[in-house]
Amino acid sequence: MKNYIITIGRQYGSGGREVGIRLAQKLNAEFYDKELLTQAAQDSGISCKIFENFDEKKANSLMYSLSMGNYSFTGDTSKPLALRVYLAQFDSIKKIAKSENNAVIVGRCSDYILKDCKNLVSIFITADSNDRIETIAEREKLTPAQAKSVMTKMDKNRESYYNYHTEYKWGVADTYDLCINTSKSGIDGAVDLILNYINNL
Amino acid sequence: MKNYIITIGRQYGSGGREVGIRLAQKLNAEFYDKELLTQAAQDSGISCKIFENFDEKKANSLMYSLSMGNYSFTGDTSKPLALRVYLAQFDSIKKIAKSENNAVIVGRCSDYILKDCKNLVSIFITADSNDRIETIAEREKLTPAQAKSVMTKMDKNRESYYNYHTEYKWGVADTYDLCINTSKSGIDGAVDLILNYINNL
């Protein structure tokens, strides 16, 4: 089997992270989701807590920047902190793609950042809203109404962040090589389909 | 193998029709694309020419209806002709799903019309813009600039028609079970992937 950098965009609660974990296990590949934040924090010297605060959230308004104290952070203050966090993740994603033979990277505009990478396979994972609400409610101990609200907010965050930092559109079919709805395929079905897909590229 | 009704939405020039033809051959299934227009014309008594004029074009403005002479057509004149054409296609799609064990239906909101059909598999086919422009230019003897213009217009037509007649969004990943970019997979690769997908459902 050839080596691939597989990026996974995902709707909140769709099981995209789980697909990525199982895929990485089957491919004996490194897996990066929240792990990316730690890596970027280590590489950039910015605290990990700050990466968590800014994770996949667009923060480009002056009011937001001021309220987050973006301009008062020590070190390189020539750029808003949100942008510095994005750039540190950008560098880490590039570094991973260069150093790893096989890797699975979840979210954080990784498909766009690696768009010129020849062995890139770009996946997007969806699921039906009702299934996602059930998953989120169970996982985060929420009522269905609360889960729906969190789901909508998280997807909005991811969409804004992605559309702000890239020329593509988040969640639109032609942004990706392959989009799979796990309500139909199941998590393992999605993993098997991706494996079949890359085996035949 | 179980029986499936497979619907294929597609960007203009992406090879969606070809994927459908080859898939229908492999499944020994009936194939409906333009064939749907003939069937709907036969069933409804509206002329085939009129179906071709209205094919996947939204036509809900009064000005457009008047300019197309929608209200002067003989027969049931209680509804605009564009709507009657849509409803005739709606009936034909429902009839196909009921009478065929296996069928592949291209476009015309068939995924939405058959959304409650238990053996429905809904696919969307994309391709990179440059590849689509090349395909269209070659197929329709156009310059790349002309092909790009036709591509944009046709996709706009399909998107408007779909979004007008359904509650879903055309070309958005979570509208479909599976979305495949043929620039990466190739036409045969997409067919094989769909076969692998339905074999494992």
Distance, first Cα to last Cα, chain B: 10
Which residues of chain A does B11 touch, with a Cβ-Cβ cutoff of 8 Å? 174
Residues B17, B105: Cα–Cα separation, whole Å: 9
| Predicted confidence band of residue A189 (pLDDT cuts 50, 70, 90) | very high
CA distance A111 to A121: 8
User: Where is average pLDDT lowest: A50-64, A171-185, A187-201, B69-83?
Assistant: B69-83
List strand residue ranges (DSSP E) for chain B, in order.
5-10, 30-32, 103-106, 120-126, 178-181
Q: What angle do CA B164, B16, A181 make, to 5 degrees?
A: 70
Give the separation between CA B176 and CA B111, rounded to whole angstroms: 8
Tell me which residues of chain B have a pLDDT lower than 70.
1, 58-78
Both tokens of A29, joined, read 């590949």
Rounded mean pLDDT, A126-154: 97
ipTM (interface predicted TM): 0.89
Q: Does the pLDDT at position A70 exceed 60?
A: no
Residue of B nearest to A132 (CA): B174
CB contacts of B180 in chain A (<8 Å) are 177-178
The predicted pLDDT at position A34 comes to 82
- Chain A interface with B: residues with Cβ < 8 Å: 11, 121, 124, 126-128, 171-174, 176-181, 184-185, 189, 192-193, 196-197, 200-201
What are the residues facing A31 on neighbouring strands?
Answer: A104
End-to-end CA distance of chain A: 10
Across the interface, do B196 and A193 touch by the CB < 8 Å criterion?
yes
Strand partners, A179: A124, B179
Closest by Cα among A33, A4, A24 to A97: A4
- Using a CB-CB cut-off of 8 Å, the residues of chain A touching B16 are none
What are phi and psi for residue B143, nearest 5 degrees?
-75, 160
Which residues from chain A sit within 8 angstroms of residue B176, using beta carbons? 173, 179, 181
Q: Residue A97: which of A42, A30, A33 has the closest Cα?
A: A30
Model confidence band, residue A158 (pLDDT cutoffs 50, 70, 90): very high
Q: SS3 of A69, please? A: coil
Q: How many C-beta atoms lie closer than 10 Å to residue B67's C-beta?
A: 10
Beta strands in chain A, from DSSP E residues, in sequence order: 5-10, 30-32, 103-106, 120-126, 178-181
Amino acid at A145: A
Question: Mean pLDDT of all residues in chain A?
Answer: 88
Question: Percentage of chain B with pLDDT > 90?
Answer: 65
Question: Is the pLDDT reported for residue A171 higher than 50?
Answer: yes
Amino acid B77: pLDDT: 59
Q: Which has the higher per-residue pLDDT, B23 or A61?
A: B23
What residues of chain B have any CB closer than 8 angstroms to a CB in chain A?
11, 121, 124, 126-128, 171-174, 176-181, 184-185, 189, 192-193, 196-197, 200-201
| pLDDT at site B82 | 79
A187 versus A101: which is more confidently predicted? A187
Structure tokens at B40: 């709907």
pLDDT at A157 over 70: yes
Tell the residue number behind the tokens 């046709």, with chain if given: B154
Q: Based on the number of CB atoms within 10 Å of its own CB, is B19 exposed (0-12), middle (13-18) or buried (19 or more)?
A: buried
Distances (CA, A) of A122 to A119, B67, B97: 10, 45, 33
Q: Please check the confidence at residue A112 and state whether its pLDDT lies above 60.
A: yes
Contact B178 A180 (CB under 8 A): yes
pLDDT digits (tens, 9 = 90+) for B123-155: 999 999 999 999 999 999 999 999 999 999 999
Which of B174, B185, B200 lies closest to A126 in CB terms? B174
Percentage of chain A lying above the pLDDT 70 cut: 89
State which residue of chain B sits closest to A121, comparing Cα positions. Answer: B184
pTM: 0.90
Q: Count A/B contacts: CB-CB distance under 8 Å.
A: 82
Element (H, E) at A92: helix A81-99
pLDDT of residue B85: 81
pLDDT value for B66? 46
Please report residues of A whose CB lies closer than 8 A to that of B187: none
Q: Mean per-residue pLDDT for A168-195?
A: 98
Q: What local confidence, expressed as pLDDT, does residue B39 receive?
A: 77
Answer yes or no: do A178 and B173 touch at CB < 8 A: no
Q: Are the Cβ atoms of B174 and A11 closer than 8 angstroms?
A: yes
